[in-house]
Amino acid sequence: MSDASPAVRSRQPWRVPLIAALALAFGSLALISGVAYIAVLAGATGTTERLLVDRAGRVIEAQVSMVKSRLDPVAQELELIAALAARGRLDMESPVAARETLAAMLAQMPTVSITAFASLDLQLDRAMRRPDGTITRDTVPLADIPGSIESFRQLQTASAPFWGDLFWSQSLGQPMLNVRAPVRRKDNAFIGALVATVGIGNLSQLIEDPSQPGGGNYFILVGHDRVLAHRRLIDPRGLGLSRTKPLPTITEVGDPVLAHIWDPPVHSPAIERALGSLGHIVEVDGRRWVFVRRELKGYGPDPWLVGQYFPIEEATSDLDRLTNGAIVGAVTLLVATLLALLMGLRMASSIRTITSAAEAIERLEFDQPMHRRSRLREIDDAGHSLDKARSALKWFGVYVPQRLVQRLMERGEEGIASRRIDVTVMFTDIVGFTPQAESLPEHETAELLNHHFALIGACIEREHGIIDKYIGDSVMALWGVVPPRDDHAGAGIRAALAIAKAMREDNEQRRADGKTPIRLRIGLHSGPAIVGNIGAPGRVNFTVVGDTVNIAQRFEQLGKEFMMPADEVVVLTSGETLAAVKDREALGIEVPPSQRRILRGHEQPVDVYRLV
């Protein structure tokens, strides 16, 4: 909490009223920008539309042409080899000849990573380009490559080359595009199949054209959000790709603009009319980007979405001819913007501090000071007031359970109105505390109780209970009160068992320190009780009253009959509490047989269960 006194605050430099600061900054910005640009906007609108359409059309056509120019020659080369084999000019049935033909194709086409020929004996002759550029040749069984035999069977009925499904290359560590072609003799007899692959890394590198504006912002999508080509996929390592997940999504390639491609378009009737079906505009972090795209089919079972994006200002770069008429307005707008930005940042920082402080108070977090000095008078005063409120509420939170405060904040007084509900009540009491405390200094007695109550409170809080009050060395706790819950009995028993465990562990440490162990009695009972504000109009307590509370205290006192000299903790519960437990197995204990006892003030005997 800030301890700044009124005298210290009065020595601070002058402070500007918030209203005056806002009016000065944003009023100046609006006035200067309006005067500077009102003359050029009318003429620039139509030009902007035409430039945007021209730019979008050129970009997407160039990108589609780039894709086709890189991939179509692969299919054409494969078709040529198949035709030569059909005429008998290439002997693809000889493994040696087939591998040499494949290696020659690979040497001529840097786009391709692997070429292969699958023969009727289910062997795959292939040539592969290694990362260092060398070409290797080998023959492997089709069965060693997942899915290859099924694809080979499909090719037996094919009549022309086609692009197939992506498949994962274990050796290259990336998914591969692949074009497939059946190979037949002149009599149309099927003798095998040719395959050429292009890695997505190669595809991403090949279709990039740095000479074009926005050349690094290209992409190819498969489906709605799977990325097939992108500058990040030139080297796809680190994206976690695998056979089961061959392609990343738009949110996984590290492109903050592409990740927003399917955001709702920025509503601009003129630009929407100009772009039409070519694309759309989105806003990312306050900046507008033009996405242009076109569907491309024929390179696999799923159509591709080929596109690029670029900032909207690139589409309007030809508006330089209007610069002379806008220089004065641009300069003055820049000055006003910087001024507004500077003041806005200062105000935003102060306002964010106030907002964070208010949110922390709402969460009942009072540990840290919240005020920073500000030259803005209202914000500075608000910060001081929040710090004072934090200090007051901090003490309020010490004396009132936080769950009760949260309930009040959420639902007002109606949330804690008096009503009759089923609850579980717990009483704990330290055995022989009074003579033990008399032998200790006052500060040690306080430390002992604070430590003891901290252990018990943690167990109660963990099971969403409320500590209603401390009565000397005793604790009264409630479950099912705020908010009401069905399994209040189970929560109360779990808390009691946790307290017993915590007390045993703490007693081990006390013995190691040469101190006397603490012995504890715990009693639990469940039943109906009146819950709400009890007391005079000016001083009330949120508590429970009724026979359920009295019986719970009687069970704690009844522990005297059950506790043996060697016992450290005894936990007694009523049959009503056990009957209210929703899941006894979740308690993790075996419930012992009941014992019948008559409680003080009651004529009929009750069932008593000793859990610990």
What CATH number does the domain containing 225 carry? 3.30.450.20
Instruction: Kindly indicate the confidence band of residue 5, based on its pLDDT and cuts at 50, 70 and 90.
Output: very low
What is the token pair recorded at 489? 């009995």
Least confident of 171-180, 271-280, 489-498: 271-280
Q: Given CA atoms 211, 212, 214, 215 in this order, what sign does their dihedral have? A: negative
> What distance in Å separates the CA atoms of residue 97 and residue 91, rounded to the nearest whole number?
6
Q: Would 95 be classed as within a structural domain?
A: yes
570 pLDDT higher than 70: yes
CA distances from 93 to 1, 178, 185, 417 (A): 87, 22, 11, 90
Better-scored residue on pLDDT, 13 or 434? 434
Last residue of a domain, one of 315, 349, 366: 315
Question: Does an H or E element contain 306, and which?
Answer: strand 304-311
Instruction: Kindly indicate the confidence band of residue 528, based on its pLDDT and cuts at 50, 70 and 90.
Output: very high
Last residue of a domain, one of 280, 295, 315: 315
Q: DSSP assignment of 319-337, as one string?
A: GGGGHHHHHHHHHHHHHHH
Q: Could you tell me if 295 and 418 lie in one domain?
A: no
Better-scored residue on pLDDT, 297 or 537? 297
Q: Once rounded to an integer, what is the mean pLDDT over residues 33-53?
A: 62
Last residue of a domain, one of 286, 315, 344: 315
pLDDT of residue 402: 58
Instruction: Kindly indicate the confidence band of residue 318, based on its pLDDT and cuts at 50, 70 and 90.
Output: low
Better-scored residue on pLDDT, 336 or 529? 529
Domain range enclosing 588: 411-610
Q: Would 215 be classed as within a structural domain?
A: yes
Q: In 113-159, where do the E strands start and end?
A: 114-119, 123-129, 135-141
Q: Once rounded to an integer, what is the mean pLDDT over residues 515-521?
A: 92
Q: Would 13 be classed as within a structural domain?
A: no
Question: Please, are residues 158 and 141 in contact by the beta-carbon 8 Å criterion?
Answer: no
pLDDT of residue 280: 86
76 pLDDT higher than 80: yes
Determine how β-strand 218-222 pairs with β-strand 190-199.
unpaired
Q: Could you tell me if 310 and 451 lie in one domain?
A: no
Q: In 336-493, where do the E strands start and end?
A: 419-430, 466-471, 474-479
Least confident of 361-365, 472-476, 568-572, 593-597: 361-365
pLDDT of residue 2: 42
Q: Could you tell me if 249 and 111 lie in one domain?
A: yes
Q: Could you tell me if 99 and 216 lie in one domain?
A: yes
Q: Could you tell me if 419 and 311 lie in one domain?
A: no
3-class SS at 409?
Answer: helix
CATH number at residue 530: 3.30.70.1230
Q: Could you tell me if 479 and 606 lie in one domain?
A: yes
115 pLDDT higher than 50: yes
Q: Would 192 be classed as within a structural domain?
A: yes
pLDDT of residue 1: 41
> What distance in Å separates the CA atoms of residue 25 and residue 208, rounded to the nearest whole number?
44
pLDDT of residue 4: 45
Q: Would 446 be classed as within a structural domain?
A: yes
- Mean pLDDT, rounded, of the chain: 81
Q: Could you tell me if 184 and 308 lie in one domain?
A: yes
Q: Could you tell me if 308 and 423 lie in one domain?
A: no
Q: Could you tell me if 168 and 275 lie in one domain?
A: yes
Q: Would 306 be classed as within a structural domain?
A: yes
pLDDT of residue 437: 80
84 pLDDT higher than 50: yes
Least confident of 8-17, 365-374, 413-422, 469-478: 8-17
Q: Would 36 be classed as within a structural domain?
A: no
Q: Could you tell me if 142 and 247 lie in one domain?
A: yes
Instruction: Kindly indicate the confidence band of residue 9, based on its pLDDT and cuts at 50, 70 and 90.
Output: very low
Total domains present in the chain: 2
Q: Could you tell me if 295 and 425 lie in one domain?
A: no
Q: Could you tell me if 300 and 415 lie in one domain?
A: no
Q: Would 599 be classed as within a structural domain?
A: yes
pLDDT of residue 585: 86
